[in-house]
Amino acid sequence: MKRLTIRARLTLVHGGLLLLAGVVLLAVTYVLVDQRMREPLTGVIAKADIVKAPFGKLPTPGAAEQVRFLLQEAQDEAKRNALESLLTQGGVALLLISVVALGFGWLIAGRALQPLHQITGTARRIAAADAGGRGLHERIALRGPRDEVKELADTFDLMLERLDRSFDGQRRFVANASHELRTPLALNRSLLEVAMSRPGASAELRQLGETLMAVNERHERLIDGLLTLADSEQRVVDRTPVDLAEIAGHLLDQVAAGTPELTVRRRLAPAATAGDPVLLERLTQNLVENAVRHNLPAGGQIDVSTGTVDGRATLVVVNTGPVVPGYEIEAIFQPFRRLHHDRVAAPGRSGARDRAGAGRGFGLGLSIVRAVAQAHGGGVHAHPRDGGGLVVTVTLPPLSAAVPAQPARTLPAAARG
């Protein structure tokens, strides 16, 4: 019984109560009819003694007794037939009514539980809206009498409204704080450039300026990542046709020119999708930079492929590098989370910038990748590569797919750079 749905249990209760009431009614009717038919035909039998036979002769005592026996036997037969007919036809009618009652009970229970189905559907859509608070803008908005179910729906809507305000306030705080921090960093950069460009600047001053410029650039990249992450957590409405193969090819040309020590392999088949070109370029750029940054010191490889798999645009980035435990895969997609073990940086990306920490990541790259993919109605997953490294796969809807979306804020020009 516990495994049945509420609708099935309500239907069984409704049908069971009706069946029980019908059985009680049939039993009471049977008892009343039985008591009514127990009265003998005494009056009729007594009159039989004075009934004169043909030719005016009175019946003999034996004939009267025979008439009485015949009448009693006829009465018992009629009683049995009436009671059997009552039980048979009443039982059949009760079964038919019970079947009809079960059907009506099923319909009535479904009608009564319809508001709960609406609440469940809304909760399921919100739960399927991925991370970042997407989907919290939706409301149940249940209409009907103000009963217990309506009170539950209104309470659920109130909870969603508060959560939506909380998530939206958090995103606005990150974006506003990041914008405010860009101003002093831009001022620092200007002052350092002026100090380093003086004709009489010493070598120590220039070296200090380069180190401070690297630190300043690192902070700028952090703020840029925060801005992109805050913006990419919104659904994209204005979509334009984009080919992931074209974006990947453009970025790989830059990687091949800047990191000759790495072997770059490409298999770029058309992978058409629709979305924000700037955000999709940032997604691809983060994946490629992550593959370059966390590669082997020498003899490293990067394999990038695009195409259409099961009707969805797909981007796969594979890189060699340190062994990544499977249980740490999910951690690298969280903001400001990096693997606990040291990640080896490829050669050629050191010097003053690395000494200042500019070559290290912030743990925002893959979190931005996931946020951008989800904002476009897609997804991203990763698994360790055999022999070390990582395999990251991004899937996006095809060009013709229409993905429900909510309005997104425009990415600032400074962050888009």
Instruction: Give 360 or 35, the one with higher predicted confidence.
Output: 35
pLDDT digits (tens, 9 = 90+) for 249-281: 989 988 887 788 889 999 999 999 998 888 898
Average pLDDT over residues 163-173: 79
Summarize pLDDT for 109-143 with one digit per residue, the tens.
888 888 888 888 888 887 776 555 566 777 888 88
CA-based nearest residue to 323, from 379, 375, 389: 389
CB atoms within 10 A of CB 63: 14
* pLDDT for the residue numbered 362: 61
Look up residue 296 and give its two tokens.
Answer: 């082997």
How far CA 100 is from CA of 12, 22, 111, 334, in Å, comes to 12, 13, 17, 57
The label of the residue with tokens 């890189």 reads: 319
**Overall average pLDDT of the 159-179 stretch:** 78
Asked if residue 81 lies in contact with residue 37, where contact means CB atoms within 8 angstroms, the answer is no
Pairing between β-strand 301-309 and β-strand 263-268 as defined by DSSP bridges: parallel
Q: Residue 380: which of 390, 168, 203, 389 has the closest Cα?
A: 390
Contact call for residues 376 and 317 (beta carbons, < 8 A): no
Phi, psi of 306 (to 5 degrees): -130, 160
Residue 313: per-residue pLDDT: 94
**Over the chain, what is the mean pLDDT?**
78
Kindly tell me if the per-residue pLDDT of 307 is higher than 90.
yes
Higher-scoring residue by pLDDT: 372, 127: 372
Residue with tokens 């127990």: 38
Q: What is the pTM of this model?
A: 0.52
Tell me the percentage of the chain whose pLDDT exceeds 70.
77
Calpha distance 358→263 (Å, rounded): 24
Q: Helix H segments across 294-412? A: 352-355, 365-375
- Whole-angstrom distance, CA of residue 235 vs CA of residue 26: 65
Q: Is residue 380 within 8 Å of 240, Cβ to Cβ?
A: no
Q: How far is residue 413's CA from residue 415's CA, in Å, rounded to a whole number?
A: 5
CA-to-CA distance for 379 and 372, rounded, in angstroms? 9
H or E element, residue 382: strand 379-384
Q: Is the pLDDT of residue 71 over 50?
A: yes
pLDDT at 121: 83
Q: Return the pLDDT at 270.
A: 93
Q: Provide the 8-state DSSP code for 411.
A: P
Confidence tier at 86 by pLDDT (50, 70, 90): confident
Instruction: Say whether pLDDT at 229 is over 70.
Output: no
The label of the residue with tokens 């410029």 reads 213
pLDDT tens track for 101-112: 888 888 888 888
- The pLDDT of residue 354 is above 50: no
Q: How far apart are CA 366 and CA 333, in angstroms?
A: 5
Please report the pLDDT score of residue 85 as a whole number: 84
Mean pLDDT lowest among 44-58, 176-190, 295-309: 44-58
Q: Using the predicted structure, report yes or no on whether residue 166 has a pLDDT greater than 70.
A: yes
Confidence of residue 407 (pLDDT cuts 50, 70, 90): very low
Q: Count of alpha carbons within 13 Å of 195, Cβ hemisphere only?
A: 17
Non-local CB neighbours of 10 within 8 Å, separated by 6+ positions = 105, 109, 112, 113
Which pLDDT value is given to residue 377?
84
The whole-number average pLDDT for the span 74-81 is: 79
pLDDT (0 to 100) of residue 223:
75
Average pLDDT over residues 310-339: 86
